């Protein structure tokens, strides 16, 4: 048996569950065994991306955990980060252009 953690966070709530799993346990199996899905029913273990300590894993069902690792379940992105950054840059440019036109 090894000790691992499973974590999930919402903007206003976070939960980290520590549990004992068999040697050779996959990240996916740890998520199921942790019971975190009962606490956060919106989690789709087959659809939500997962990672270990901030590093995304491609196939949670094949990723074997080591002692002390934390499986993180990631929420789907609401907005594309590149698109959001481009919008912020365009807004800042427009603001600077307006200030320059006023002579500020």
Query: Domain for residue 25, yes or no?
Result: yes
Query: Domain for residue 98, yes or no?
Result: no
Cβ–Cβ under 8 Å, residues 65 and 25: yes
- The three-point CA angle 20-21-24 to 5° equals 150
Please choose, from the candidates 72, 52, 53, the residue with its C-alpha nearest in 3D space to the C-alpha of residue 64: 52
Give the model's pLDDT for residue 99: 80
Intervals of the chain under pLDDT 70: 77-81, 104
Give the model's pLDDT for residue 75: 86
Task: Give the domain CATH number at 8.
Answer: 3.10.20.90
Other beta carbons within 10 Å of 78: 6
Lookup: tokens for 1: 């048996």
Cβ–Cβ under 8 Å, residues 76 and 38: no
- In which domain, by residue range, is 58 found? 2-77
Give the model's pLDDT for residue 101: 77
Query: Domain for residue 89, yes or no?
Result: no
Give the model's pLDDT for residue 8: 96
Give the model's pLDDT for residue 17: 97
Query: Domain for residue 50, yes or no?
Result: yes
**Number of domains comprising the chain:** 1
Query: Domain for residue 92, yes or no?
Result: no
Give the model's pLDDT for residue 104: 64
Query: Domain for residue 51, yes or no?
Result: yes
pLDDT tens, 52-80?
A: 999 999 999 999 999 999 999 998 766 66
Does the pTM surpass 0.75? The reply is no
Query: Domain for residue 97, yes or no?
Result: no
- The DSSP code for 35 is T
Lookup: tokens for 26: 């996959």
For the chain, counts of helices (H) and of strands (E): 3, 5
Give the model's pLDDT for residue 91: 85
Give the model's pLDDT for residue 78: 67
Cβ–Cβ under 8 Å, residues 15 and 35: no
Query: Domain for residue 99, yes or no?
Result: no
């Amino acid at each position: 048996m090894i000790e691992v953690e499973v974590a999930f966070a919402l903007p206003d709530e976070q939960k980290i569950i520590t549990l004992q799993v068999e040697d050779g346990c996959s990240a996916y199996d740890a998520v199921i065994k942790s019971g975190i899905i009962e606490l956060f029913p919106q989690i789709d273990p087959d659809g939500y991306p997962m990672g270990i300590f901030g590093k995304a894993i491609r196939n949670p069902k094949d990723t074997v955990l080591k002692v002390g690792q934390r499986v993180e379940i990631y929420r789907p992105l609401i907005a594309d980060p590149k698109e959001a950054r481009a919008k912020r840059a365009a807004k800042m440019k427009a603001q600077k252009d307006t200030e320059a036109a006023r002579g500020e």
